[in-house]
A and B are shown apart, each in its own frame.
Chain A
Amino acid sequence: MAKEKVITAKELTKKFGDFVAVDKITFDVEKGEIFGFLGANGAGKTTAMRMLCGLSLPSSGQATVAGFDVYKENEKIKKNIGYMSQKFSLYEDLTIVENIRFYAGIYGLKDDKIKDKTASLIKELHMEGSEKALVRSLPLGWKQKLAFSIAIVHEPAIVFLDEPTGGVDPITRREFWGLIYEASGRGITIFVTTHYMDEAEYCNRVSVMVDGRIDALDSPANLMKQYDSKSMDGVFLQLARKAVRKGD
């Protein structure tokens, strides 16, 4: 049975003037997958993701997200996706509960649903007692988990995560990936960019971007076999050596 494809991209390209940031990438993401989008800084990961989220207009090529075309049905896509940026994008001067309520509301959840969701989120994240705390005052790990939970508060088909684990300790990272697995188990497709190669091994499939192109696309196990390496780190190093572009 062919798995439903929630993201398709064909020769997707983004140019800034003469500079080709994303160079004719072609790939698919299947429903329920955890898809890792790897690459060095400056390889084009974030730019590619922004095109899929409707934040940036592609220069050429085609793509669909959740079955909708990125050029013509941009706003429909947004109803069906969640997003977590590198900066977490929560309102620092709002409380945990206020942030949840705001995002749940603008994604169209009804009032009683919002109440339920708020309660269950607080419980799952073990944040009881801190409901009225301003996000500004929370430790980084909490912010991260909260941002993720809010990104999927409306149970979207796909959630896009842009370098979500920057700057947190390994234990917190582990816990965060626990949340990701859980969401994946519920049927949410995860599209995550990262430059932590160990996280690559948590994904179903990964792609590696070098200089704007996708130079590798397969499951981590297959890639490690293909490049004869014991870790994704090794795979990546071999691919990255060919890179012309320096990091950010």
Chain B
Amino acid sequence: MRTLKFLLQKELIQIVRDPSILKILFIMPMIQLLIMPLAADYEIKNINLGVVDQDHTQYSQKLVNKIISSGYFKLKDYSPTFPKGMYAIEADKTDLILEIPPHFERDLIQENKAPLLVSVDAINGVKAGLGGAYIQGIIQEYNQDIRDEWLQNPRFNQQPAIEVTFSNWYNPNMNYRVFMVPGILVMLLTIIGSSFAANNIVREKEMGTIEQINVSPIKKWQFILGKLIPFWILAFGVLTFGLIIARVVYGIVPFGHYITIYVFASFYLLAILGFGLLLSTFAQTQQQSMLVSFFVTMIFNLLSGLFTPIESMPHWAQILTRFNPIAYFIEVMRMVMLKGSGLADIKTQILALLGFAVFFNGWAILNYRKRSG
């Protein structure tokens, strides 16, 4: 135990003396948290609309106006023919084209039906899906407006009508910041934590000071713990800093309790740091450990549900998610911050992270060799 005390003393002194560490630990998250949420907005607005109006009547014009006044679309192109309209899509000027065929108004009045054609640049599936849905919604409303206007007797319309009402719980303003900021904080914690942990032991290997440790009576678990604990404490500092920024800059206050987050974070950090330490027991050079920790955390981050929903992933990928610590924390963060979930609600996640922590740290201790074969 005394040995551990001396190890911790040394580690802490080294961390405090190194200005670059503190800079990275606090400045980097600050910048990321200030910029990323502003950029990471999935909200679909300002869809660029191209119109090919071959009818040029009052009603075709009304339709276009209605679409534009909805606020979802910006009219960026107005072409006489479809091929010209396509040109705008190809050049990325517009995201979708509404083609109003000739005789639109006449057909609607005389034939009782008229077609419209919508072509969507579907490379971005979400944009295409939502854009298509929005415009269809507006067209249907327009259709209903026309019926209300032209049909003298509304009661003529004796159809059963189902009215669908919508309620949005937990994020009534439909604000993406609230959704993304906690997740981004988790991602930052993970990248910083595992990189530092991975880098630390390898650095001693490269510099040679690790030999002096190996030749001493220090036990393996003491050594690993001596590396784990200081960073664990530091990581809490980064977490707190991030939460303060979230509150002060974005006004994000958890619906649940901060304590829940901290309790979960303590397990999470043990796991993530353990992972980094494990990596560094394998790596021979800093380049290797950085590369691997970076790639692996990048994969885990992108597949964690932060940027794309887990429910959308194919079944095999969803199973993989169960082995991804980051996915758990993202889930918990959102549950606690947005829905007010408590400790009882997240007990499975806590257990899972405990498992990860034991697994990674245990393996790191076992894998670390004071004596090479």
A and B directly contacting (CB within 8 A): yes
Type the 1/0 row for B10-49, where 1 means its CB is closer than 8 Å to any CB of A.
1001100110000000000000000000000000000000
| A101 interface contact, C-beta 8 A | yes
CB within 8 Å of B: which A99-116 residues: 101-103, 105-108
Question: A232: shortest Cβ distance to chain B, in Å?
Answer: 28
Q: Which residues of A contact B248 (CB under 8 A)?
A: none
A78-B217, A106-B216 known; A93 vs B18 contact (CB < 8 Å): yes
Candidate in B3, B17, B217 with the most chain A CB atoms within 10 angstroms: B217
The size class of the interface chain B forms with chain A is: 20 to 34
Q: Which of B7, B209, B211 makes the CB contact (< 8 A) with A55? A: B211
Q: Which residues of A contact B215 (CB under 8 A)?
A: 53-55, 78, 81, 83
- With both beta carbons as reference points, the residue of chain B lying nearest to A85 in the complex is identified as B211
A96, B372: Cα distance in complex, Å: 30
Q: Which residues of A contact B209 (CB under 8 A)?
A: 89-91
- With both beta carbons as reference points, the residue of chain B lying nearest to A99 in the complex is identified as B10
Summarize B's interface: helix, strand, loop or mixed: helix
- With both beta carbons as reference points, the residue of chain A lying nearest to B2 in the complex is identified as A105
- Cβ–Cβ contact A94 & B14, under 8 A: yes
| A74 interface contact, C-beta 8 A | yes
- Cβ–Cβ contact A94 & B217, under 8 A: no
A85-B212, A102-B10 known; A55 vs B371 contact (CB < 8 Å): yes
Q: Residues of A within 8 Å of B, CB-based: how many?
A: 26
Question: A189: shortest Cβ distance to chain B, in Å?
Answer: 16
Candidate in B10, B212, B372 with the most chain A CB atoms within 10 angstroms: B212
Question: A66: shortest Cβ distance to chain B, in Å?
Answer: 12
A98, B9: Cα distance in complex, Å: 9
Question: B128: shortest Cβ distance to chain A, in Å?
Answer: 55
| B6 interface contact, C-beta 8 A | yes
A207, B291: Cα distance in complex, Å: 45
- Cβ–Cβ contact B9 & A102, under 8 A: yes
| B373 interface contact, C-beta 8 A | yes
Q: Which residues of A contact B207 (CB under 8 A)?
A: 87
Question: B65: shortest Cβ distance to chain A, in Å?
Answer: 69
Question: B139: shortest Cβ distance to chain A, in Å?
Answer: 68
22 contacts between A and B (CB under 8 A): A54-B370, A55-B372, A57-B371, A57-B372, A78-B215, A78-B216, A78-B217, A83-B215, A85-B208, A85-B211, A87-B207, A89-B208, A89-B211, A91-B10, A91-B209, A93-B13, A98-B13, A102-B6, A106-B216, A106-B217, A106-B218, A108-B217
B residues touching A (Cβ–Cβ < 8 Å)? 2-3, 5-7, 9-10, 13-14, 17-18, 207-209, 211-212, 214-219, 370-373
